[in-house]
Amino acid sequence: MADETNDGQKDGQNKDRGEKPAGPNMAGDVGALLTGLKTTLSEAFKPVVTTMYPEDKTPRSERYRGRHYLRRYDNGLERCIGCELCAAACPVGCILVIAAENTDENRVSPGERYAKTYEINMLRCIFCGYCEDACPVQAIVLGPEYELSDTSREKFIYTKEKLLEPLPPDVQARLDTKDQPHRPASPGTSP
Amino acid sequence: MNDLYSNAIGHWVIVILAMGILLVVVLTATAYTVWFERVALGRIQRRPGPNRVGPFGLMQSAADGIKLAFKESFIPDKTDKLLFVIAPGIAVVAAFLAWVVIPIGLWYNVQYWIADVNVGILIIFAVSALNVYAIVIGGYASNNKYSLLGGLRSAAQLISYEMSLGLSLVPTFMIVGSLRLRDIVEYTVHWGLYTGPLPLVILTPVGFIIYLISAVAETNRAPFDLPEAEQELIGGFLTEYSGLKFVMYYLAEYVNMITVSALAALLFFGGWYLWVVPPVFAFLLKVVLFLFLYIWVRGTFPRLRYDMLMRLGWKVLLPLSIANVIVTGIVLVAVQG
C-alpha cells in the first residue's frame, strides 16, 4: 500500500514538472484502485453491524435512567409520604406533589401524609435521577423504559396512576438487593 | 403472428404493444436497480439497506415513488417556468428513447426488440447526448448559482467524455463492419477449429476499459458525479427540483445506467449469447453484473476533483482511445490484408 501511495505522489510531481509519467506509476495507481475494490467487496460479505431496532435492542446498563415508577410496600401501601423533596431536588422543576394527611379511614401510606397528586412532566424531565437520590423512602425510581414518545403534550404529564404501575421484574430484583433506606427515616414516618 | 406483423395496421399494433411492454419492463427494472443499489451499497458499508417495505424491502422503490408523486409540485419563484418543467421531461425521454434500438435477445426466432436499425449505436449516442440538455437547461432554468454550476460542469464533463466514449467503440465497428447492434452481438469468428460467437472484449480490451470509464462519466455516476456533487454544489442541477420532477431526473439517471450496462453487454460481451443460458436471461445476467460493477465502483471510489476529471478525460482517455483506433486499424489491415 505504502509503495503505491508513494508512486502516486511521484506521478503527480512528474506531471507538475511537465514530464511524462513513467510506466510503473500507472501500474501502481491501477493496483491501488483494485485494492480499493477488493476491500469494499470483502466488506460486503461480512455480517452487517446494524441493530434491527424495534426487534432487537442494544443492551442497557442495569442502572439506566428511563421513565419513573412510584413504588409500594409489600402490604400495598404507597411508599411516597408527600415530603416533596423530589420536587425540590428536581433541577428542571418537572415534579408536582400535593400532599394530604393520612387518616385511619383512608390510609394510603404508612407515614403522616401521602401524595394526593403526584405528576411528572416528561417533556421537561432530563432523567438526571436526582429525585431518586433525594427520596428518603425510596419511593421513586427510574426504570429502564426509554421509548416514551406519544401523540399529545397532555399525555406526557405522567399522573400518579401511571407512575404506580408495577415495576419491571428486573428493576424490582435490583432494588430488592438494597432495599434498606440509605438515610435515616425522616421524622414524618414515625407517628 | 407473422401474418399480423406483415399487415400494415397489425404491424403498428404489435410495435406499440411492444413499446408499452418495454416501457413497463424498463420502469420496473429501474425501480429494482434502485433497490439493488441501495442494498449493495448498504452491504459494502455493512448496513442491511432497505429491508422494511415488503419482503427484503422489495417494495421500497414503490413506496418512495408514491411518496414523491404525492409531494407538492413546487416551482420556485423567478425560475424560467417553461424550461424548468421541460428539462426533466427531456431527461426521461432521452433515457427511454435509447431502448427503442437495444436488442434484448433472440429466442426461438422471437425478436425481443422494437427496431433493428442499421445505425443503432449511433441512434443511442445521439439520443443519450440529449441528456446533457436536460441537465444544462435544468441548471439554467432553476435560477440558482449552484444549479447553474452543476449544469456547466455537466456540459464540460459530457463533452469531454462523449468523445472518448464514441472513439472507444470505433475499433468494435471496424472489426465487425456494422453499426447494427444485432450484427455486433452475432459477430462470429472462424479460428481454425472454433467457429462461433466471440465476445468482442477479447479483441478490444482497451476499448472496453475506456468505454467503462467514459460510460460512468457519461451517466453522471460516482465517482464522476460532479454535476450533482452534494457536498460542494448542494445537489447541483437537482437543487431546486422536488416531487415528480425530481423523480424524472432520478429515473433518467437509472435508465441511463441500465442502458450503458446493456450496451457494455451487447458490444463487448456477446449480448444474449452465454453458453447454455437462455438468451434473454443471459442478457439480463450480464446487465445485472455490469450494474453491480457500477454500484461497486460507486461504493469504493471518492468523487474526482474537477481538474482530475478533465485531466483523465483529455490527457489519458482521449489519446488512448485514438491510439486504440489507429492500432486496431493497423492490425486489421495486417490480418485481413
- How does pLDDT run across B31-47, given as a tens digit for each residue? 899 999 999 989 999 88
Tally the domains of chain A: 2
Question: Which chain B residues have a beta carbon less than 8 Å from that of A39?
Answer: 300
Clarify whether residues B25 and B109 are in a common domain: no
Question: Has residue A32 got a pLDDT over 70?
Answer: yes
Clarify whether residues B40 and B171 are in a common domain: no
Clarify whether residues B65 and B79 are in a common domain: no
Clarify whether residues B22 and B94 are in a common domain: no
Question: Which chain B residues have a beta carbon less than 8 Å from that of A40?
Answer: 44, 296, 299-300
What is this model's ipTM?
A: 0.71
Clarify whether residues A104 and A181 are in a common domain: yes
- Position with higher pLDDT, B2 vs B190: B190
Clarify whether residues A102 and A38 are in a common domain: no
Clarify whether residues B137 and B248 are in a common domain: yes
Residues A81/A109, Cβ–Cβ less than 8 Å: yes
Q: Is the overall model pTM greater than 0.90, yes or no?
A: no
At A92 the pLDDT is 93
Question: Has residue A11 got a pLDDT over 50?
Answer: no
Clarify whether residues B52 and B164 are in a common domain: no
Torsion on CA atoms B309, B310, B314, B317, rounded to nearest 10: 0
Interface mutation vs chain B, best among A19, A25, A29, A40, most B CBs within 10 Å: A40
Clarify whether residues A31 and A73 are in a common domain: no
Clarify whether residues A39 and A86 are in a common domain: no
Closest in B48, B297, B299 to A50, CB measured: B48
Mean pLDDT of chain A: 79
Q: Which three cell numbers stand for residue B8?
A: 400494415
Task: Compute CA distances B75 → B139, B142, B246, B251, whole Å.
Answer: 13, 9, 12, 19
Clarify whether residues B207 and B257 are in a common domain: yes
Closest Cα in chain B, distance from residue A47 (Å) = 7
Classify residue A60: in a domain, yes or no: no
Clarify whether residues A156 and A108 are in a common domain: yes
Classified as helix, coil or strand, A164 is coil
Q: Which domain holds residue A170?
A: 68-189
Classify residue A89: in a domain, yes or no: yes
DSSP codes of every residue in A87-141:
HHH-TT--EEEEEEE--SSS--SSSSEEEEEEEEETTT-----HHHHH-TT--EE
Clarify whether residues A172 and A136 are in a common domain: yes
Clarify whether residues A94 and A161 are in a common domain: yes
Clarify whether residues A38 and A82 are in a common domain: no
> Lowest-confidence range among A87-101, B3-17, B20-34?
B3-17
Provide the number of CB pairs (under 8 Å) joining chain A to chain B: 34
Classify residue A52: in a domain, yes or no: no
In 3D space, the residue among A88, A77, A64, A80 whose CA is nearest the CA of residue A142 turns out to be A64
Clarify whether residues A27 and A113 are in a common domain: no
How far is residue A173's CA from residue A141's CA, in Å, rounded to a whole number? Answer: 13
Nearest Cα residue in chain A from B40: A44
Question: Has residue B228 got a pLDDT over 90?
Answer: no
Clarify whether residues B237 and B196 are in a common domain: yes
Tally the domains of chain B: 2
Clarify whether residues A40 and A90 are in a common domain: no
Clarify whether residues A80 and A149 are in a common domain: yes
> A96 pLDDT band (50/70/90 cuts)?
very high
Clarify whether residues A119 and A40 are in a common domain: no
Clarify whether residues B41 and B189 are in a common domain: no
Q: Which domain holds residue B176?
A: 75-336
Clarify whether residues B156 and B248 are in a common domain: yes
Classify residue A103: in a domain, yes or no: yes
In 3D space, the residue among B92, B107, B80, B72 whose CA is nearest the CA of residue B272 turns out to be B107
Q: Which three cell numbers stand for residue B84?
A: 424548468
